Chain A
Amino acid sequence: EAQLVQSGAEVKKPGESLRISCKGSGYSFTNYWISWVRQMPGKGLEWMGTIDPSDYYIKYNPSFQGHVTISVDKSISSAYLQWSSLKASDTAMYYCARHHLSSSPFDYWGQGTLLTVSS
Chain B
Amino acid sequence: DIQMTQSPSSLAASLGDRVTITCRASQSINNYLNWYQQKPGKAPKLLIFSASSLQSGVPSRFSGSGSGTDFTLTISSLQPEDFTTYYCQQSYSTPHTFGQGTKLEI
Q: Choose one: A44, A95, A102, A103; the contact of B43 (CB below 8 Å).
A: A95
Indicate with 1 or 0, residue by residue over A6-39, a CB within 8 angstroms of chain B CB atoms. Answer: 0000000000000000000000000000010100
Secondary structure dominating the interface of B: loop
Contacts of A104 in B (CB 8 A): 49, 91
Number of interface residues of A (CB under 8 A): 24
> Complex Cα distance A99/B75, Å?
25
CB distance from B33 to the nearest CB of A (A): 9
Contacts of A99 in B (CB 8 A): 91
> Complex Cα distance A103/B89, Å?
11
CB distance from A39 to the nearest CB of B (A): 9
A56 is an interface residue with CB less than 8 A from chain B: no
User: Which 5 pairs show the lowest CB-CB distances between chains A and B?
Assistant: A105-B49, A109-B43, A61-B95, A105-B34, A45-B98
In the complex, besides A97-B43, A105-B34, A105-B91, 19 extra interface pairs with C-beta distance below 8 angstroms are A35-B96, A44-B87, A44-B99, A45-B36, A45-B89, A46-B98, A47-B89, A47-B95, A47-B96, A47-B98, A62-B95, A102-B91, A102-B94, A104-B49, A105-B55, A106-B36, A109-B45, A110-B43, A112-B43
What is A's interface to B at a CB cutoff of 8 Å? 35, 37, 44-47, 50, 59, 61-63, 95, 97, 99, 102-107, 109-112
